[in-house]
Amino acid sequence: MQASLWNTFDSVRQELDGQYAPMRVAEDTGLPVAELEIQARRYVEEHRGEPRIRTKAAVVSFILENARIGVDTFDWFADHIATGDIVRKLQAEWYAEASHGIPARQALGHACAVPNLDLSHTSPDWRSVLRYGPAGIRDRALDAVTTAKDEEAREFYAAVARVYGSFCTYIQRLAAEAERTKAIRVIDALNALAVGPAQTFHEALQISYLYNQVQEIDGVFVRSQGIFDSLYLDYYRRDLAEGRLTRAQAKELVKFYFEKYAAQHFPVGNNVCFGGWKQGGRDACCELTELAFEAFAERKSIDPKLSLRLNPNTPEHYLLAACECVKRGQTGIVFANDEVAYEMFRRRGKAEEDLIDFVPIGCYEPAIMGRELSCSMSALCNMPRIFEYVFAELDAPESVEAVKGCYKRLLRGVLEEAMAQTRLREELWRVVNPSPVISGTMDSCFEKGRDVSHAGTKYSTSGIMCAGLGTVADSFAAIDYLVFQKKLCTWGELRGVLEQNWEGFEELRLIARKRAPKWGNNDDGADAFAVELAQYTAELINNTPNERGGHFQMGCWSIDYSVKFGVETKATPDGRKSGEPLAKNLDASIAMDRRGVTAMINSAGRLDHTDFPDGAVLDVMLHPSAVRGAEGARLIAGLIKTYFKKGGLFIHFNVFDVDALKRARVEPENYASLQVRVCGWNARFIDLSPEMQDCFIAEAEGKQPV
How many whole angstroms separate alpha carbon 440 and alpha carbon 162?
Answer: 11
Supply angle C-alpha 304, 272, 324, rounded to 5: 70
How many whole angstroms separate alpha carbon 293 and alpha carbon 242?
Answer: 24
- The rounded average pLDDT for each run of 10 residues, N- to C-terminus, in the chain (706 residues) is 87 94 93 98 96 98 98 97 96 94 65 90 96 98 97 98 98 98 98 98 98 96 96 98 98 97 74 94 96 97 93 97 95 97 97 97 95 96 97 97 98 96 94 96 97 95 98 98 98 98 98 97 97 98 95 96 96 98 96 93 98 98 91 97 98 91 88 82 84 84 52
**pLDDT value for 265:** 67
- Any alpha helices (H) in 185-315, and if so which ranges? 187-193, 201-217, 228-241, 247-265, 287-299
**pLDDT value for 706:** 27
Considering the domain boundaries, does residue 694 fall inside one?
Answer: no
How many whole angstroms separate alpha carbon 295 and alpha carbon 250?
Answer: 10
Query: Across the strands, what pairs with 361?
Result: 365
- Short-list 506, 248, 212, CA closest to 239: 248
**pLDDT value for 705:** 38
Range of the domain at 149: 19-101+128-215
Considering the domain boundaries, does residue 596 fall inside one?
Answer: no
Query: Across the strands, what pairs with 626?
Result: none
Q: How many residues does the chain have?
A: 706
How many whole angstroms separate alpha carbon 266 and alpha carbon 662?
Answer: 24
Considering the domain boundaries, does residue 251 fall inside one?
Answer: no
Asked if 333 and 619 touch (Cβ cutoff 8 Å), the reply is no
Angle formed by the axes of helices 247-265 and 201-217, nearest 10°:
10
The β-bridge relationship of strands 675-677 and 682-684 is antiparallel
Amino acid at 660: A
> Where in 95-227 does DSSP place strands (E)?
113-115
605 Cβ neighbours under 8 A, 6+ residues apart: 643, 646, 647, 648
Exposed, middle or buried: residue 495 (CB in 10 Å: 0-12, 13-18, 19+)?
middle
278: DSSP letter: P
Considering the domain boundaries, does residue 135 fall inside one?
Answer: yes
Considering the domain boundaries, does residue 459 fall inside one?
Answer: no
Considering the domain boundaries, does residue 55 fall inside one?
Answer: yes
**pLDDT value for 698:** 83
Considering the domain boundaries, does residue 46 fall inside one?
Answer: yes
Number of Cα atoms under 13 Å in the Cβ half of residue 507: 2
Considering the domain boundaries, does residue 171 fall inside one?
Answer: yes
Number of domains in the chain: 1
Angle formed by the axes of helices 151-181 and 201-217, nearest 10°:
120
Q: Omega into 434 within 30° of 0, i.e. cis? A: no
490: DSSP letter: -
